[in-house]
Amino acid sequence: MESTLPYSWYTDPEILRREQECIFRSAWQYAGHLGQLPEPGTFFTTKAGRTPIVVTRAKDGELRAFLNVCRHRGFPVAEGEGKRDTLQCPYHAWTYNLDGSLRTAPRSGEEPNFPKDELGLCDAAVDTWGPFVFVNTHHDPEPLAEALGSMPAQVAELGLDVDTLRFYTRWETELEANWKIVCENFLECYHCQVAHPQLAQILDVSAESYALSTEGRLSSQHGSPREGAGTRMHLDGELPRSQFHFLWPNLGVNIFPGRPNLSIGPMVPLTPDRTYRFLDYFFGPDVDQAWIDELMAFDDQVGVEDRDLVEGVHKGIASGALDHGVLMTHSEQLIGHFQQLTAAALAEG
C-alpha cells in the first residue's frame, strides 16, 4: 500500500515555512470576486498563502494587486474592503494611490534625494476566471489559464456559465488542523458514506460510480444524483450532476446538481495546527431563495461533519504515536496525487 507523507510534516513549523517559500509564493491563489471591485476607487484585502495582498481598481478602471505591506516599515496599508482614493499606512501615514504609486511620505522632504518613484507598493500578478479573482506573488508566474487546466472546460461542459453567476455570501471559519489535512479531506469521498449520510443519500458515492481524475495540478470528482433521493434537497434543474475540483495546492470548487451554483475558496495555513477556510457562494440570477436555503443548510451540515473529521485527524497525527499512515489505492488516489505534488515541490525547493 502507498504510505502517506510523514506525519511530522503536519506539525513541524519548519515544514510550514518551506511550504510558504516553495509552494504558495509561486501558486495562483483565489482572492475574491469582481463584485468586491464594482467601480474605480474600490479595493479589498486578502492573502496569498500567508502573504497579505490588496487588490484594487484604480481611477483608470484597471484591476491591480499589491503586497499589502508598507514600503517604509512593513505595516499593512489596507484592511477589509471598501472605496477610497488612497491607501494610507496607519503607522506613519505613508500614503499610496490605488495604482500602487507612493503619493506622500511625511517628512520625506528632509531626506536628500528621497526615491519616491521607487517606493511604490510591490506588485503581485492578478487575473480572473469569470467573476473569480486570483493573485500570484511570483515574479514571473505562468498564465492563470494554464494553471486552471481543464477545470473551466469541465464546468462549461456541465452547462454552467460562470459569467452569469452572482455572489451570494462568504462563509469563513478556522479549523484546528494542518492545511494539508483539510485539503486531503476534500480530496476523497471514501469517508462520505460513513461521515456524510445526507450527502451519500443525494449522490452516488460508491467506488463504481464516483469518478476521480487528475490532470497536472487539477484533481476532479464527479458524482451523479441518486434516483429518488430521500432528502430535503431538490436536485431538479439545469445541472445534471456534481463536480468537485481541487487545484493544487489549496483551492476547492464545489458544484452540486440542480440549479446553477458554485462555491469556491482556499484552505490557508495559519500555523502548523490551524487553517483558515473560506468559501464564496455564487448562484445563477434566477435561482429562487428556497433552493438557495436548501443548499446552504445542507452544505452547513457537511461542514460541521468535516470539522470533526479534520480536527480529529490532526489530534491523532500530532500525538506522535505513528510515523505515517496508508492510502487506499483507488478511493484515495487524489490524496496520493496531492502528496506527490507537495513532496516534489519541497524537494525542488
310-326 pLDDT, tens digit each: 999 999 999 999 999 99
Cell of 199: 450527502
| Distance between CA atoms of residues 339 and 184, nearest Å | 9
Report the pLDDT value the prediction gives residue 229, as an integer from 0 to 100. Answer: 52
Cell of 284: 445563477
| Distance between CA atoms of residues 7 and 316, nearest Å | 10
Query: Domain check: are 84 and 169 in the same one?
Result: no
* Number of domains into which the chain is organized: 2
Cell numbers 438557495 label which residue?
A: 292
Instruction: For residues 84-100, give the mean pLDDT.
Output: 98
Query: Domain check: are 127 and 168 in the same one?
Result: no
Query: Domain check: are 124 and 226 in the same one?
Result: no
In the structure, what pLDDT confidence band is assigned to residue 349 with cuts at 50, 70 and 90? Answer: confident
Q: Is the pLDDT of residue 129 over 70?
A: yes
Query: Domain check: are 102 and 181 in the same one?
Result: no
Q: What are phi and psi of 192, to 5 degrees?
A: -65, -40
In the chain, where do the E strands start and end? 2-3, 29-33, 42-48, 51-57, 63-67, 81-83, 86-88, 95-97, 102-104, 123-129, 132-136, 166-175, 211-215, 218-223, 242-247, 251-255, 261-271, 274-283, 326-327
Q: Is the pLDDT of residue 231 over 70?
A: no
Report the pLDDT value the prediction gives residue 236, as an integer from 0 to 100. Answer: 78
Query: Domain check: are 176 and 81 in the same one?
Result: no
Q: Among residues 93, 109, 140, which one ends one of the domains?
A: 140
| Distance between CA atoms of residues 268 and 271, nearest Å | 9
| Distance between CA atoms of residues 126 and 278, nearest Å | 19
- Answer yes or no: is 116 within a domain: yes
In the structure, what pLDDT confidence band is assigned to residue 170 with cuts at 50, 70 and 90? Answer: very high
DSSP secondary-structure letter at 231? S
- Answer yes or no: is 8 within a domain: no
Query: Domain check: are 36 and 183 in the same one?
Result: no
In the structure, what pLDDT confidence band is assigned to residue 81 with cuts at 50, 70 and 90? Answer: very high
Q: Domain range holding 277?
A: 145-348
Report the pLDDT value the prediction gives residue 6, as an integer from 0 to 100. Answer: 97
| Residue 4: closest CA among 324, 283, 241 | 324
Query: Domain check: are 75 and 212 in the same one?
Result: no
The burial class, CB within 10 Å (0-12 / 13-18 / 19+), for 110 is exposed
Q: Is the pLDDT of residue 292 over 80?
A: yes
